[in-house]
Amino acid sequence: MDANINRKHKDSVFSLLFSSPEVLRELYSAIEGVDVPKDAIVDINTLSDAFFMTKLNDLSFTINDKIVVLIEHQSTISQNIPLRLLMYIARVYEKIIESKNIYHRKLIKIPTPEFIVLYNGKESYPDHQVLRLSSAFKDISGLKLLENTELPLELVAHIYNIKPGHNSEILEKCITLNNYSILIGKINEYNEYLPLVEAVKKAVQYCVEHNILKDFLEANSSEVFNMLTDDITIEEIADIRYEEGREQGIEMGIEKSQKYFLKLLDQGFSVEEIKQRLIQTTTI
């Protein structure tokens, strides 16, 4: 992979690693415990924001136009993930059926959705957990008869812990995911006693020396280093804005924080300068 590729949108290391149909087949097969045929057509349709030149979701793709898979990588788990995935899948479907007239009488067949979240953060988390959109629905007691009432809308997201020592069957079947898990695990380990930048450098060096994602890391060294520090810091910045805003009774959106962070990066501000700006804006 050419390190000097001029990418139109900012990638994360995760989305860059899993940017080919071959690797996505391996990843999906490992998670679902199936063998996706090598001739299965994988069409990547990950969403992007043209204004901020960044990815909106981590990965989305169809398999033989029958299944549409949304995969998110998270270092912190938000209970709002199903709601975010609902917004993403609506836009993905818009891309898939844009040439079809949804007002025709004939039924338009659409790929069946699947929602997968891969967790690789510092906190402990179960091997597998399910989050449902319906958990966010407000109580409608007294407004509707609830007995035997089918939910008009539901979204089920499966969360898998991919930290070393968890879901070994999945990691053994997908070498790329296993190696990525080791890389992030080493960053978290070193970040316990080193600043983030030094932790990333040490983790990358460890992986190269142990032939873990060696070709990928060497071919994209500076780009990967910047993406790794950005990926981790975006969530840290979001936490700063949330905590500061909560003290003042202000609800700050995570996605808004991410966009603001990336915009300042594009303008040449350093990570530390951005942190200070965000703290100042929430304490004024």
The pLDDT-based confidence of 59 (bands split at 50, 70, 90) is very high
Q: How far is CA 220 from the centre of its chain?
A: 20
Domain ranges of the chain: 1-173
Helix/strand/coil (H/E/C) assignment for every residue in 248-264? CCCCCCHHHHHHHHHHH
Q: Which residues are paired to 208 by β-bridges?
A: none
The pLDDT of residue 172 is above 90: yes
The pLDDT of residue 110 is above 90: yes
Average confidence score pLDDT of the chain: 81
Burial class (CB in 10 A: 0-12, 13-18, 19+), 22: exposed
Instruction: Decide: pTM greater than 0.85.
Output: no
Q: Diameter of the chain by CA atoms?
A: 64
The pLDDT-based confidence of 267 (bands split at 50, 70, 90) is low
Closest to 86 measured CA to CA, from 155, 151, 150, 132: 155
- SS3 percent helix, strand, coil of the chain, rounded to 5, is 45, 15, 40
Structure tokens at 91: 């836009």
pLDDT at 58: 85
The pLDDT of residue 179 is above 70: yes
| CB contact at 8 A, 77 and 60 | no
pLDDT at 208: 94
Number of residues written out for the chain: 284
pLDDT tens-place string over residues 14-40: 888 998 999 999 999 999 999 999 899
The pLDDT-based confidence of 46 (bands split at 50, 70, 90) is confident
